[in-house]
Structure 1
Amino acid sequence: MSRLLLLLFPLLIAPVIAQDELTDFDTARGHFWETLYPGGGWTLYCGLRFEAEGNGDGVMATIDHIYSMPRVYRALGCSSRLRCNQERGNEYRRIEADLHNMYPATGAVVIQRADSYFAGIESAESRFQECDFRRRGRRVEPRDIAKGNIARTLLYMQREYGLPLAEDMELLKSWNRVDPPSEQEMNRNDRIERLQGNRNPFIDQPQLADDL
Structure 2
Amino acid sequence: MPYFIFAILISLVSFNLNAEQFTRFSTAKRHLIKTLPADAKSIYCGCDIKRQGKKLIPDASSCGYKPRNVTTRSGKPNSRAVRIEWEHIVPAWEFGHQLQCWQKGGRKNCVKTSEQFRKMEADINNLAPAIGEINADRSNYRFGMIAGSASQYGQCQVKVDFKQRVVEPPSYSRKRIADAYFYMQKTYGLKISAKQQKLFKAWQSQVFTAQKTSSNF
TM-score with structure 1 setting the length? 0.68
Q: Is the 8 A contact 2:48 2:58 kept in 1?
A: no
Name the aligned partner's letter for residue 122 of structure 2: A
Q: Is the 8 A contact 1:148 1:175 kept in 2?
A: yes
Count residues with an aligned counterpart: 164
Name the aligned partner's letter for residue 84 of structure 1: C
- Identify the residue that residue 81 of structure 1 maps to in structure 2: 107
Q: Is the 8 A contact 1:28 1:98 kept in 2?
A: yes
Q: Deviations over 1:147-200 (max 9, x none)?
A: 1110011111111111112452111111001124999xxxxxxxxxxxxxxxxx
Deviation, 1:127, is: 3.4
Task: Give secondary structure in 2 for the equivalent of 1:130.
Answer: coil
Deviation, 1:56, is: 8.3
For 1:155 and 1:126, locate their aligned partners in 2 and report how far apart those are by CA, in whole Å.
30
- Identify the residue that residue 207 of structure 2 maps to in structure 1: 179
Tell me the percent identity: 27
For 1:55 and 1:45, locate their aligned partners in 2 and report how far apart those are by CA, in whole Å.
14
Name structure 1 gaps, 5 residues minimum: 1-17, 184-212
For 2:45 and 2:99, locate their aligned partners in 1 and report how far apart those are by CA, in whole Å.
31
Asked if 1:103 is matched to 2:128, the reply is yes
- Identify the residue that residue 91 of structure 1 maps to in structure 2: 116
Asked if 1:163 is matched to 2:190, the reply is yes
* Pairwise CA RMSD: 2.8
Deviation, 1:125, is: 9.7
Q: Is the 8 A contact 1:149 1:181 kept in 2?
A: no
Name the aligned partner's letter for residue 172 of structure 2: I
Matched ranges for 1:1-212 at <5 A:
21-35=21-35, 37=36, 39=38, 41-52=40-51, 53-55=55-57, 60-77=83-100, 78=102, 79-88=105-114, 90-123=115-148, 127-136=152-161, 137-166=164-193, 168-180=196-208
- Identify the residue that residue 3 of structure 2 maps to in structure 1: none
Task: Give secondary structure in 2 for the equivalent of 1:62.
Answer: strand
Q: Deviations over 1:2-38 (max 9, x none)?
A: xxxxxxxxxxxxxxxx988312112111111111x15
- Identify the residue that residue 5 of structure 2 maps to in structure 1: none
Name the aligned partner's letter for residue 69 of structure 1: A
For 1:117 and 1:104, locate their aligned partners in 2 and report how far apart those are by CA, in whole Å.
18
Name structure 2 gaps, 5 residues minimum: 1-17, 61-81, 212-217
Q: Deviations over 1:88-118 (max 9, x none)?
A: 2x21111111000000000111111011011
Name the aligned partner's letter for residue 99 of structure 2: L
- Identify the residue that residue 10 of structure 1 maps to in structure 2: none
Q: Deviations over 1:121-164 (max 9, x none)?
A: 22479733321111222111000000111001111111111111
Name the aligned partner's letter for residue 49 of structure 2: F
